[in-house]
Amino acid sequence: MPVFFEQNLIDSWINEDAPLLDLTSQVMGLHHQASQMTFIARGNYIVAGSEEVMRVITNCQGQVTDYLPSGTSCHAGQAILHCTGPAHALLRAWKVSQNIFEFACGIATQTHALVTTVKHHNSKAAVLTTRKHAPGLRKLALKATLAGGAMPHRLGLSETVLIFPQHRALLGDWQNIQAALQARQGELAEKTVVIEVETLEQAKQAIQAGADALQFDKVPAAQLTEWVSQLRPLHPHLRFLAAGGIRLDNAVAYACSGVDALVTSSLYYAPPADIGVRIEKGDAQ
């Protein structure tokens, strides 16, 4: 998962937890004693964030000796990462690293479950994740969903043309949307124009306006099945997306509705994985 994490982001995670010193380690005299630390899965998970944990540990002056890459399956009791170094280094990196693993592995595992469910019922349907995550967590959330088998729906405003009802409200009517898109046809030659709709009538108007794809927002799966079955024979090159309230418990219905992709934010709120941490003296076996 080649998501780029700037060095200042890694530093900020460490600085957030221990901006000056680890006072407990200082008081207890835990400084340069040889130590080792192991992160252990307490459940069956998809690993995510291990490369970033490696950087946290290295920045704290530890050395990673073994790890499972992001996207790897692990079972309860399995070691995800092992490192060595002076006590102060490992203790400083400990909680930051554990937090990264628990957040990222939780999302990756939930993502994998959703993707597996969808693919089982519709092998051609994709699971796409939105940009509706907690502020500051975009890169780690993105990496975790990639590790679980999903793809990003939209990484930011600069990436895609996605016309929401809020845009339509400012433009006035569908004719103005059509005129704006026609005026930019050359500039949009390599872009896909997606228009979000909520009704069948809006879908027909969006197609007339020049949509390449329709994003149906909060349309019940049974209704969406009916609409897609009507529209696809008439517009075979059009793509259909289901969005709004899609979760593991209703994914099967949406996967069977005939859409090309399911767009979801729910994966960002997956329960965290339970990752144990064992710290021992350096000569421990």
Model confidence pLDDT, tens digit, residues 227-264: 999 999 999 999 999 999 999 999 999 999 999 999 99
Q: Which CATH superfamily is domain 114-269 in?
A: Aldolase class I (3.20.20.70)
Comma-separated ranges of CATH 3.20.20.70 domains in the chain: 114-269
Domain 7-111+271-281 architecture = Alpha-Beta Complex (3.90)
Nearest alpha-carbon partner for 266 in 251, 255, 278, 252 = 251
Q: How confident is the model at residue 1 (pLDDT cuts 50, 70, 90)?
A: low
E strand segments, the chain: 34-41, 45-46, 63-67, 73-74, 79-86, 126-129, 151-152, 161-163, 193-197, 213-217, 239-243, 261-264, 275-281
pLDDT in tens, 11-55: 999 999 988 888 999 999 989 999 999 999 999 999 999 999 999
Question: Residues 82-121: pLDDT tens digits?
Answer: 999 999 999 999 999 999 999 999 999 999 999 999 999 9
CA angle 261, 264, 265 (to 5 degrees): 160
Q: Return d(Cα 247, Cα 218) in angstroms, integer.
A: 12
How long is the chain?
285
Task: Provide the percentage of residues in the chain whose pLDDT is more than 70.
Answer: 99
Distance, CA of 80 to CA of 74 (rounded, Å): 8
**CATH 3.90.1170.20 residue ranges for the chain:** 7-111+271-281
